[in-house]
Structure 1
Amino acid sequence: MTTRPAFLLRIAAAAASLALAAPSAMAWTSKPVRMLVPAPAGGTMDVLARLLADQLSADLGHPVVVDNKPGAGGGIAITTMLAAPADGQTIMVTASNVLTEVPHVLKPAFDPLKDVRPIAAVSRSRMVMIGAPGLPARDLKSLVSYARANPGKLSYASYSAGTASHYAGMIMNQKAGLDLQHVPFAGSAPALAQVMGNQIAVMYDGMVTSLPMIRAGKVQVYAVASKSRSALLPQVPTFAEMGYPEMEFSNWVGVIASARLSPELAEKIQAAAYKAAAAPRVRERMEALGYEPLPAQPLPQLADSVRTEFERNAGIVKTFNIQP
């Protein structure tokens, strides 16, 4: 027969065991979390943010509420985040270009390397070179030859001036001896429409927005701007394979927070973010959207990668004299 003291000891031991088994993320917060998104509701980034928010809500046992703050190249959302207490209750899901590209052009009121702490890069979108369906060139080598044979007649679109979509075209012009004229747009959608309609020859775009058009046969695809092929487009060669290793551009999407956040709290949020991103339904949906899931990175390594990309883009802006 079990004595009462022994019974109470077992209950206490079981409670302690459950506490130890609880995810470390449970210690992150006991309140609702505000997740800022620097894009309108309904867009690809918003869809991904809501996936993460739903999974985080389930994991934490507390609501994670998405708050869309588009505008100023992500600056409105970041300014809102930095104005909030650095207690982990306000985080942001964004593409990394708001830290590594946009600041070189828009000159924000914050320092992306000092005021913002990258927390978790959960997925990546590589850049691809696509072309109008009416272009006679069917591969990159033929496209380069065609452009050289038609000087001054072709142009390339970007989703905004001063972004990697702009940089890629200038670098390719320089390395391949081309003279394609840059035509910037306010986002991928209007630029893609011009390429699909044969008004503009080519575009350098993120795979997330271009992949549906590529799969539908509405645009041609020439190369992926990375050193390794993409699992989403395994048949498409990389620029590196074709002799242009400088053409390496991608953005990650993930969680950032105020740099005033304590390292301990940052690590707990990071663990929760990577756990949410690894959930099968989240991972499957990310891949369906055109994102490639990324392995977890330690906080210092992620911060270093952001600084490296920021400095690389600063060099490109200086080299090509790209003006704000």
Structure 2
Amino acid sequence: MTRPIDRRTAGKWLFAGAATAATAGLPRALLAQPAFPSKTLQLVVPYPAGGTTDVVARTLAHGLSARAPAPVIVENRPGGSSSIGTGFVARAAADGHTLLVTTGSTVTLLPHTQGLPFDPLKALAPVAELGRTPLFLYANPRIPAKDLKGLVAWMKANPGKITYGSYGQGTQGHFGGVILGKAAGVDMLHVPFQGGAPALQALVGGHVQLLIDAYQPAMEQVKAGRVLALAVSSPERSPYAPAVPTFRELGLPQVESISGFFGMFAPAATKPETVAALSRLVSGITASDAYRQSLAKLGVLPPQALGPAQMGQSIRQTHAAWAKFVRDIGYRHGDT
């Protein structure tokens, strides 16, 4: 990984690629355009620097820098439940030089829970998946059981005595607890936090008993014995945590729906041939061993090999599923 150019610009890392070496690796559709990218290629992350989405973007930028004849930067534009950075890209020139790197929930779930000022499905064009991210159910070791089956039995006998935290209301972490509770027939009290770090601190400190979140940074606490990992939402066990059973193994396949992904998006008006060329370029990087080894450190699974059209179809299906779920539970923005 390269380091920031300067601490005052922590949200921007510059990766300069060698033009002569890069040209050979570019798809023909891009080479047909004058020296594409003809100016700085900007990857916008709608979350703060240092988080998993940010690291995925910088890992991708490092790969792009070896192929692009122009600089590649990552710029963080956090805030507004991701709407600030997402809106910036949606309004950008549709020339393939300003791209969004974000979580799948930005386009599938948050439109139904966060009151975004625009429709991401209409404002953005899918380019490529960058990685898959299952969520884990973590527990404080002082819970009255050491596995999910035992915990569910205890909760049924002692309703309303377990709290679970999440990285925010109206998120996959929040709704994962709702889905788990319905599937297992138990009641849990949700406690939302402003991000994963304070939620994890609350779990370690015993202020909540359960937490639904991604692999990192909670898995470091698991390895240190301060937290238990009870289940994972992926269809198969994570290769990075093979001892953790899946919800499906435990008879709760409904919870798989909270799994997510990281993706790249362009402004909606970007020409299809530009989107296709970018997708091929990015897919070449995400298929590399170096990129996948970097993902492994984050606990992020390799992306699905989807073209822009397939990715768009998958997003629309997930978007519709979350819309129905939010309606069915009667959730409104601001609920906990």
Tell whether 2:101 aligns with 1:98: no
Q: Is the 8 A contact 1:208 1:291 kept in 2?
A: no
1:56 to 51, 54, 64: 64
How many Å separate the matches in 2 of 1:75 and 1:221?
Answer: 32
Separation in 2 of the partners of 1:195 and 1:166? 15
Report the Cα distance in structure 1 between the residues aligned to 2:273 and 2:216, rounded to whole angstroms.
33
The match for 1:294 among 287, 303, 313 is 303
Which entry has the higher C-alpha Rg, 1 or 2? 1
Question: Post-superposition shift, 1:60?
Answer: 1.2
In structure 2, C-alpha distance between the alignment counterparts of 1:46 and 1:124, rounded to whole Å = 15
Distance in 1 between the 2:93 and 2:106 partners?
21
Give the match's secondary structure for 1:253: strand
One-letter amino acid matched to 2:275: A
Equivalent in the alignment of 1:15:
none
Shift of 1:22: 4.6
* Paired amino acid for 1:254: G
Structure 1 counterpart SS, 2:138: strand
SS at match of 2:191: strand
What is the distance in 2 between the residues matched to 1:180 and 1:127?
18
- Conserved? CA contact 1:119–1:266, under 8 Å: yes
Deviation at 1:238, TM superposition (A): 1.0
Query: 1:21 deviation in Å?
Result: 5.7
Q: Could you list the per-position Cα deviations for residues 134-170 of structure 1 after superposition, in whole angstroms to 9, with x for gaps in the alignment?
A: 1131111101012122222211111111111111111
Give the letter for the 1:79 counterpart: G
- Which residue is equivalent to 2:121? 113
Structure 1 pair 20/62, CA: closer, same or farther in 2 (3 Å)? Answer: closer
Q: Given residue 251 of structure 1, which amino acid in structure 2 is its aligned partner?
A: G
1:273 to 1:147, Cα distance in 2 relative to 1, 3 A: same
| Counterpart pick for 1:24 among 27, 42, 48 | 27
Aligned equivalents of 2:54, 2:306: Cα separation in 1: 23
Per the TM alignment, residue 58 of structure 1 is displaced from its structure 2 partner at its CA by 1.3
Read off the aligned partner of 2:88 and give its amino acid letter.
Answer: T
Paired position in structure 2 for 1:251: 260
**Match of 2:278, SS?**
helix
Q: Which runs of 4+ in 1 moved over 6 A?
A: none
Shift in alpha-carbon separation, 1:233–1:22, aligned structure 2, 3 A: closer
- Once the 2 structures are TM-superposed, how far is the Cα of residue 66 of structure 1 from its aligned partner? 1.1
Query: TM (normalized to structure 2)?
Result: 0.87
Match of 2:11 in 1: none
The one-letter code sitting in structure 2 at the alignment partner of 1:260 is A
C-alpha spacing 1:314/1:205, structure 2 compared with 1 (3 Å): same
1:312 to 321, 328, 333: 321
Percent identity over paired residues: 37
Partner of 1:274: 283
Match 2:184 to one of 165, 170, 176 = 176
Gaps of 5+ in 2: 1-20
**Corresponding residue for residue 241 of structure 2:** 233
Number of aligned residue pairs: give it: 307
Using the alignment, how far apart are the partners of 2:270 and 2:317 within structure 1? 22
Alpha carbons of structure 1 residues 19 and 183: separation in structure 2 relative to 1, 3 Å: closer
1:156 pairs with 2:164: yes
| 1:28-72 deviation per Cα after TM superposition (whole angstroms, max 9, x unaligned) | 423211111111122222122111112101111321111110011
Q: Secondary structure at the match of 1:230?
A: coil
Partners of 2:23 and 2:69 within 8 A in 1:
no
SS of the residue aligned with 2:130?
strand
Residues of 2 paired with 1:54 and 1:21: CA distance? 17
Q: Which amino acid aligns with 2:299?
A: G
Alignment check: 8 A CA contact 2:61 2:74 kept: yes
Per-residue deviation at 1:252?
0.8
Q: Which residue is 1:210 aligned to?
A: 218
Q: Tell me whether 1:84 sits opposite 2:92 in the alignment.
A: yes
Report matched runs for 1:37-76 at 5 Å.
37-76=45-84
Contact 2:22 2:66 (8 Å CA) reproduced: no
Structure 1 distance, partners of 2:306, 2:68, is: 21
Secondary structure at the residue paired with 1:247? helix
**CA RMSD of the aligned region, Å?**
1.8
Decide whether the 8 Å contact of 2:46 with 2:82 is kept in 1.
yes
The answer to whether the 8 Å contact 2:37/2:69 transfers is no
Alpha-carbon distance in 2 for matches of 1:20, 1:275: 14
Q: Which shifted more, 79-88 or 213-222?
A: 213-222
Residue 125 of structure 1 corresponds to which residue in structure 2?
133
- Against the structure 1 CA distance between its residues 125 and 79, is the aligned structure 2 distance closer, same or farther, given a 3 Å change threshold? same
**Which residue type is aligned with residue 74 of structure 1?**
S
